[in-house]
Amino acid sequence: MIQGPSMVTFSVAEPHQTAIRMVRTALAQEGLRIPVELDVTTRIKQELGAGLAACVVLYVDDPALLLEAAVFHRGAALLIPQPVVISGNDRYTETIVRSVEALVEGGLPASVREPLQNLHARIVKAMETIAEREGAQLIAGA
């Protein structure tokens, strides 16, 4: 496995559907919302006819943080909500989020950086209540 600072992976020792419910609950307990959900598996099957392991992307935000960031810099809407990938099978599930380093690269203005770091910290905190953080971090696209 190639290592780098782009993503943080969490292991959930539960089937995919159970893990999705656990992630939703943990995020809600942190006061976070999921305004958009993408079922990657179904979309790939419908669009390309290809089979794929169960994979869902939850786009997570806190409307107040989004407002705070967007008031000062409209481009914040490109980064909030944050994607959380949940992929697994009937025995084991991985949850992947971007690393905070990957989020703040590129010299974001402080008005965007702070709300983004706050959101990221809350997502990670939620994940740590239900999953084990893996030591290795993946490079995007690996």
Cα-Cα-Cα-Cα dihedral sign, residues 40, 43, 44, 49: positive
Give dist(CA 82, CA 84) in Å, integer: 7
Helix axes 16-29, 110-128, angle to 10 degrees: 130
Tell me the per-residue pLDDT of 65-106, one tens digit each, with 9 for 90 and over: 888 878 887 877 888 899 999 999 989 999 999 888 877 776
120: three-class secondary structure by DSSP? helix
- Give CATH for domain 7-133: 3.30.310.70
Tell me the per-residue pLDDT of 116-142, one tens digit each, with 9 for 90 and over: 889 999 999 999 999 999 864 444 333
Residue 17 DSSP symbol = H
Query: Pick the residue with more confidence: 24 or 105?
Result: 24
The proportion of the chain whose per-residue pLDDT surpasses 70, expressed as a percent, equals 89
Counting every residue written for the chain, the total comes to: 142
Domain ranges of the chain: 7-133
